[in-house]
């Protein structure tokens, strides 16, 4: 599992860290570099094609290892192609397209590897395996990211990319030799079942909505603390070396160590008790940033605060990752794990803009006290399915449906209605934010809600198009989620007649 996770970390470091730095260092316009970073999108939307990996079985190595092997071969070929154009990087759009292809293959690999972990690991192995998986993933991301930038300065990008490409072949051997998971359940019989049943199956749990709220909120305190960490240290007077190499090494090593410790300790403490202990500690660790904000420049204090906070964050991630393995049904492990990992990442995506507005309004000290308090909602929902003192959470699936069964036609209409409501709400909020920003401009402009709405509808800029696509996807997910909740709670298998 550690070797397979190492293979997952390599492409993320390359696409997320190395390629944008490479493009900027050769003089590519910063606006183009910003667009190239959109190649990360497949990791955010992998749940859209995860049902295909549940439904279809490759002719070799089984359902999980087979797809992982296909993705690793694709990564080998595409990375070699990137090495081929590295000597003449005069067309950044070609490199951007290859980066997008690498991200798509890598996201597919992540789906297969995560599903394999769900299928093959026994409960007593999950904690230790999660720790080693996370540590290996972070190590690979660092090697293909920051370290690759340094190696490319010494050698060349072509040499570095060839080395990364051939690493996938070595890891392909590990995938082929990995133990075969027990196939106790048949794959979904149709693509419809592969898309629909994972949602209904998860939502059949008695406390499914509370569990989903916990998945979103458990790491909120940690996410708020890290959203603007380097800008915070800049404002406190720490220099580039402090914020760069030194902080990077400390946070990377402490996060990896924390995940390793968290996974191992979860085996002894139990998942429920570990989530409580690590959740409390990771929230309280933000008090260290309050102390940093109130103190003059003190490098040992800053490194101690960031090191301890990222250590506890890694421990919380270790226990939380074990919970995700326990929550996922093996028949739909690709789709369900992808869905929950996407929900887990949602606060990280949204935290940046919110953090900036909050710091501007209340300052750094009050903001970090809010970050401490942000750990409470997740613990509140944890109490619903894992009371304090219990070793294991209650995660059983209730196959019984209460109430009058709901027809397919009613499911469809209510799902469409909910999706439309989510989409229109998102459009309105986006327009309100744009109008509010215009009012703070120099010179200030009057409040105008119509202009941003028209610009969004006409897609005047690429940013408008991306925003509209995101809102459409949010609406689709909201409609599907609403229909799945109704089907899980009242039964959704009757025909419209």
> Per-residue confidence at 352, pLDDT binned at 50, 70, 90?
low
pLDDT at 488 exceeding the cut of 70: no
Cα–Cα nearest to 5, from 61, 72, 78, 54 = 72
What percent of the chain clears pLDDT 70, i.e. is strictly above it? 85
> Per-residue confidence at 17, pLDDT binned at 50, 70, 90?
confident
> Per-residue confidence at 493, pLDDT binned at 50, 70, 90?
very low
pLDDT at 438 exceeding the cut of 80: no
The token pair that represents 411 in the structure block: 């499911």
For the segment 237-283, what is each residue's pLDDT rounded down to a tens digit? 887 667 666 777 787 888 888 888 888 888 888 888 888 999 999 99
For the segment 23-68, what is each residue's pLDDT rounded down to a tens digit? 877 777 766 777 777 787 788 778 888 888 888 889 888 888 999 9
3-state SS track over the chain: CHHHHHHHHHHHHHHHHHHHHHHHHCCCCHHHHHHHHHHHHHHHCHHHCHHHHHHCCCCCCHHHHHHHHHHHHHHHHHHHHHHHHHCCCCCHHHHHHHHHHHHHHHHHHHHHHHHHHHHHCCHHHHHHHHHHHHHHHHHHHHHHHHHHHHHHHHCCHHHHHHHHHHHHHHHHHHHHHCCCCCCCCCCCCCHHHHHHHHHHHHHCCCCHHHHHHHHHHCCHHHHHHHHCHHHHHHHCCCCHHHHHHHHHHHHHHHHHHHHHHHHHHHHHHCHHHHHHHHHHHHHHCCHHHHHHHHCCCCHHHHHHHHHHHHHHHHHHHHHHHHHHHHHCCHHHHHHHHHHHHHHHHHHHHHHHHHHHHHHHHHCHHHHHHHHHHCHHHHHHHHHHHCCCCCCCCCCCCCCCCCCCCCEHHHHHHHHHHHHHHHHHHHHHHHHHHHHHHHHCCCCCCCCCCHHHHHHHHHCCCHHHHHHHHHHHHHHHHHHHHHHHHHHHHHCCCECCC
For the segment 113-133, what is each residue's pLDDT rounded down to a tens digit? 988 988 888 888 888 888 888
Strand partners, 371: none
What architecture is the 194-398 domain classified under in CATH?
Answer: Up-down Bundle (1.20)
pLDDT at 457 exceeding the cut of 60: yes
pTM over 0.85? The answer is no
pLDDT at 172 exceeding the cut of 80: yes
Interior angle at CA 213, CA 252 and CA 287, nearest 5? 45
Q: What does the pLDDT read at residue 463? A: 66
pLDDT at 11 exceeding the cut of 90: yes
Average pLDDT, the chain: 81
pLDDT at 353 exceeding the cut of 70: no
> Per-residue confidence at 163, pLDDT binned at 50, 70, 90?
very high
For the segment 470-482, what is each residue's pLDDT rounded down to a tens digit? 778 778 877 877 7
Query: With left for phi above 0 and alpha for psi between -120 and 50, is residue 376 left, alpha or beta?
Result: alpha
The larger pLDDT score, comparing residue 172 to residue 267, is at: 172
> Per-residue confidence at 419, pLDDT binned at 50, 70, 90?
confident
Point out the least confidently predicted range of 52-61, 110-119, 155-164, 201-210: 201-210
Q: Which CATH superfamily is domain 1-184 in?
A: MFS general substrate transporter like domains (1.20.1250.20)
Q: What residues does CATH 1.20.1250.20 cover in the chain?
A: 1-184, 194-398
pLDDT at 495 exceeding the cut of 60: no
Point out the least confidently predicted range of 7-16, 18-27, 301-310, 488-497: 488-497
Average pLDDT over residues 8-37: 80
For the segment 286-312, what is each residue's pLDDT rounded down to a tens digit? 999 999 989 888 888 988 998 899 899
Q: How many CB atoms lie within 10 A of CB 48?
A: 17
pLDDT at 72 exceeding the cut of 90: yes
What percent of the chain clears pLDDT 90, i.e. is strictly above it? 16
Point out the least confidently predicted range of 43-52, 135-144, 198-207, 381-390: 198-207
């Amino acid at each position: 599992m550690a070797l397979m996770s190492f293979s997952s970390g390599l492409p993320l470091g390359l696409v997320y860290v190395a390629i944008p730095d490479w493009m900027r260092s050769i003089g590519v316009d910063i606006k183009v570099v910003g667009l190239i970073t959109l190649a990360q999108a497949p990791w955010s939307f992998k749940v859209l094609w995860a049902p295909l990996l549940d439904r279809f079985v490759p002719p070799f190595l089984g359902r999980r290892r087979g797809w992982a092997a296909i993705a690793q071969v694709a990564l080998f070929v595409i990375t070699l192609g990137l090495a081929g154009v590295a000597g003449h990087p005069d067309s950044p759009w070609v490199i951007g397209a290859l980066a997008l292809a690498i991200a798509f293959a890598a996201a597919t690999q992540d789906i297969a590897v995560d599903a394999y972990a769900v299928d093959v690991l026994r409960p007593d192995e999950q904690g230790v395996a999660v720790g080693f998986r996370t540590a290996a993933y972070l190590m690979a991301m660092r090697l293909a990211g920051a370290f690759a930038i340094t190696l490319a300065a010494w050698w060349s990008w072509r040499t570095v990319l060839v080395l990364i490409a051939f690493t996938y072949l070595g890891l392909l051997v590990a995938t082929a030799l990995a133990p075969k998971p027990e196939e106790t359940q048949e794959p979904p019989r149709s693509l419809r079942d592969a898309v629909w049943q994972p949602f209904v199956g998860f939502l059949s749990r008695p406390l499914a909505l509370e569990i989903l709220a916990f998945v979103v909120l458990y790491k909120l305190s940690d996410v708020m603390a890290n959203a603007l960490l380097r800008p915070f240290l800049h404002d406190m007077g720490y220099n580039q070396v402090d914020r760069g190499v030194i902080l990077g090494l400390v946070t990377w090593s402490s996060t990896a160590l924390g995940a390793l410790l968290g996974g191992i300790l979860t085996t002894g403490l139990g998942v429920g008790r570990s989530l409580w202990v690590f959740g409390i500690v990771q929230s309280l660790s933000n008090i260290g940033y309050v102390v940093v904000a109130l103190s003059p420049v003190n490098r040992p204090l800053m490194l101690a605060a960031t090191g301890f906070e990222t250590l506890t964050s890694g421990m919380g991630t270790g226990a939380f990752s074990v919970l995700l393995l326990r929550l996922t049904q093996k028949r739909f492990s690709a789709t369900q794990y992808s869905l929950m990992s996407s929900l887990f990442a949602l606060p990280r995506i949204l935290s940046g803009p919110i953090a900036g507005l909050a710091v501007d309004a209340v300052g750094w000290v009050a903001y970090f006290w809010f970050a401490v308090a942000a750990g409470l909602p997740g613990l509140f929902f944890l109490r619903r399915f894992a009371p304090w003192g219990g070793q294991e959470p209650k995660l059983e699936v209730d196959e019984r449906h209460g109430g009058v069964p709901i027809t397919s036609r009613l499911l469809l209409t209510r799902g469409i209605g909910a999706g439309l409501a989510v989409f229109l709400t998102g459009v309105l909020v986006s327009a309100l934010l744009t109008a509010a920003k215009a009012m703070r401009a120099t010179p200030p402009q009057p409040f105008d809600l119509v202009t941003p709405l028209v610009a969004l509808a006409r897609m005047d800029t690429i940013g408008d198009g991306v925003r509209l696509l995101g809102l459409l996807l949010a609406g689709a997910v909201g409609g599907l989620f609403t229909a799945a909740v109704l089907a899980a709670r009242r039964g959704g298998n009757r025909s419209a007649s």
